[in-house]
Structure 1
């Protein structure tokens, strides 16, 4: 993590801000009239002749206004998970933190969550070499003091079983009560894992579909960036 505490670190993606700022403003203006998100982004992106990657950034960053408030209201403070059960969207959190540590662009999205775009086209191929990201997450969890921490991974992705075994050993090293497991219905379990208020669970993810379905959400990349003094890229 050397160098990440330096406020002068230049996360790539800043050069895109000037190019995408006007399209982002136009898209938001159109969405306020109730037009569908993806058709609007395609229309504006075609006008500005944006690349596939640039269109994806806009898709990740811009959120329809009718979803923004509800998602923001679900966010839990970084120090708000003490003695709570934490359910982590495994690949989502690990790969996002890996992008952060590799100084990839980290985008502040309209719903208040931090998202990256690095793994969009190759997620299933990039679930390797994440030990530093895992150690960073586990250090954060051990300091935050949840009652338990459960990592959940898609069983369909190659080597998920090996990864969960590795994480179980790391949890013991850090003295964290918890588990790592795979599931063929990972998204469903994430959505229902915190649905019962008696479970007192918080879900760590930036997946908008999951966020819309759960009660409370922790944005671990945002917590780490705040601690490191790193600002995300903002399209406004």
Structure 2
């Protein structure tokens, strides 16, 4: 794991990014493309690769903000509903929360972490505590069923799926855990079917854009634990 330089302490990082974030939002309101705008402002502000990545994760064009906010459901809104969970997306975000990594409140209303420079393979070996916390929340929220979907390309996903199935059985939560080589496609397809009315737990923007309703589990856990996200405004 890389050690962070003191310059990337949370308050200093927020202070450094506040003005670029405001500038980018102002330009986006005129309809300019997001990535070109971020690159232009980041170059002018001499931002690092990490800082650029944070801005990319946090800032959204106005049209995305409106459509994604409308899809977000309340933390107590999954009772007797079928919940499809974007496995690594949710578990790794909750793992970041438990490790006191910065959790960012993004323009579209979702919470995201930015540990982009760690490999999922390494993180996936150390998410037992995150899984326990997620299952505790799910048990209290009482959905009709819970299905974990894991990216098969990530090492040992099959073992993790089996472990999750055992956990679900132990805790009496109806559902299962599966791997897929096309996890994002499956999430978008199943979550977009009107007849199924699934709730999808994810903060992946591309998935959110294709599904009907979304649950932000990291945000729910932060609210329950009294944690405040970092806000760039």
TM-score range, shorter chain: over 0.9
Check the 8 A contact 2:86/2:201 in 1, yes or no.
yes
What does the per-residue CA deviation read over 1:39-85, in whole Å, with 9 as the maximum and x for residues that have no partner?
11111111111110000000000001111111000001000000000
Segments of 4+ moved more than 4 angstroms? none
Paired with 1:24 and 1:114, the residues of 2 have a C-alpha distance of 17
Residue 195 of structure 1 and its aligned partner are, at CA, apart by: 1.9
What does the per-residue CA deviation read over 1:165-200, in whole Å, with 9 as the maximum and x for residues that have no partner?
110111112110011000011111100112222312
Aligned counterpart in structure 2 of residue 176 of structure 1, from 173, 176, 179: 173
Could you say which residue in structure 1 is the equivalent of 2:163?
A: 166
- 1:72 paired to 2:69: yes
Gaps of 5+ in 2: 1-8
- 1:151-230 aligned at under 5 Å gives the runs 151-230=148-227
- 1:74-153 aligned at under 5 Å gives the runs 74-153=71-150
Give the TM-score of the pair, scaled to structure 1. Answer: 0.93
Residue 143 of structure 1 and its aligned partner are, at CA, apart by: 0.2
Q: How many residues align?
A: 225
Gaps of 5+ in 1: 1-11
Paired with 2:179 and 2:53, the residues of 1 have a C-alpha distance of 28
Kindly report the root-mean-square deviation, in angstroms, between the aligned alpha carbons of the 2 structures: 1.0
What does the per-residue CA deviation read over 1:117-145, in whole Å, with 9 as the maximum and x for residues that have no partner?
01454223321111100000000000000
